[in-house]
Amino acid sequence: MIYLKNSQRSVPVNTDALQRDAERLLLYLKLSAYDLSIWITTDQTIRRFNKQFRGKDKATDILSFGGLEYANSDELFDDGLSLGDLIIAASFVARMLPELDCTLDERMRVLLIHGVVHLLGYDHETDAEWAEMQVKEQELLRILKNEIN
């Protein structure tokens, strides 16, 4: 099941599209039995989580929390068989759109994929890891785009 919470009000996010994309991803990955939580929030909130869990005192576009990394945090979801949680700062994403030359919906889809790929164990600490992660992200993006067209 996909749990989606939008606690920010400054950026109109198409949560229905995001939910559908998340459901399609889990179905394609054969992970439909797993829960995925997505929290759309503010720069201030994501900055707090980024500082607490990554030691970086700044806002970012997305954070991924897989497994029980956050076991003592009551602000995230924990509903049993969970792939993990994604936190996305809508304002941060919206500010980046002009330099990315895409729509908010397109960027949210890319971030959803990026977050899920992190939850699958991919990372981008090295160039080799980045390249491997990019291949998986492009595969998933093609799947979602093909299902829409």
Please report, for the domain that includes residue 43, its CATH number: 3.40.390.30
The answer to whether the pTM exceeds 0.85 is yes
Dihedral in degrees, nearest 10, Cα atoms 52, 57, 63, 64: -40
Say which amino acid occupies 40: I
Sign of torsion, CA 42 145 16 35? negative
Total tally of structural domains belonging to the chain:
1
Instruction: Enter the tokens of residue 55.
Output: 């030691």
What pLDDT is stored for residue 71 in this prediction? 39
Q: Is the predicted pLDDT of residue 85 greater than 80, yes or no?
A: yes
Task: Tell me the mean pLDDT in the region 114-133.
Answer: 91
Task: Tell me the mean pLDDT in the region 110-118.
Answer: 95
Residue 9 belongs to domain spanning: 2-148
Task: Tell me the mean pLDDT in the region 78-93.
Answer: 86
Q: Is the predicted pLDDT of residue 124 greater than 60, yes or no?
A: yes
How far is residue 85's CA from residue 4's CA, in Å, rounded to a whole number?
10
